[in-house]
Amino acid sequence: MKRTLTGTLEFEDGAVNLILSEPTQRAIVAEIAARQEAARVAAEVDHDRLARTYHLGAEPTPGRGYDDRLKMRLGCGDDMARELVSSGRIAHQYLGNRYSVCEQAVRDFYALLPATSRLRRAA
């Protein structure tokens, strides 16, 4: 939808002020600003989620702010989570003495599953 705004631009001390002539135009600009802010916040939240990592341990890591066990992220049991990692179906790294799976690897795994698929053991 294309909208035309009429008003005045004022330049003062390096700042640009937009003065609109109709209240409906102010509402349009406010709506655009709100949508841009919502998109910025959503991108920031997604960036924080992409920084998450998961492991195969029995207990969540204290202080993480989220349950970092892979089985919880995938919604499956211990055996299935281990099988997905050991078979290479989900990308991972072995760090120190444990497997580590990043959020992007989980998303990539789900992207390859058919929409109607459920997690099943390989035959």
CA angle 60, 76, 122 (to 5 degrees): 130
pLDDT at residue number 123: 43
Contact, 52 vs 69, CB < 8 A? no
Residue 57 burial by CB count (10 A; 0-12/13-18/19+): exposed, middle or buried? middle
Dump pLDDT digits (tens) for 5-47: 676 777 778 777 777 777 777 787 788 888 888 888 877 777 7
**Polymer length in residues for the chain:** 123
- The structure's pTM equals 0.60
39 CA to centre of own chain:
12
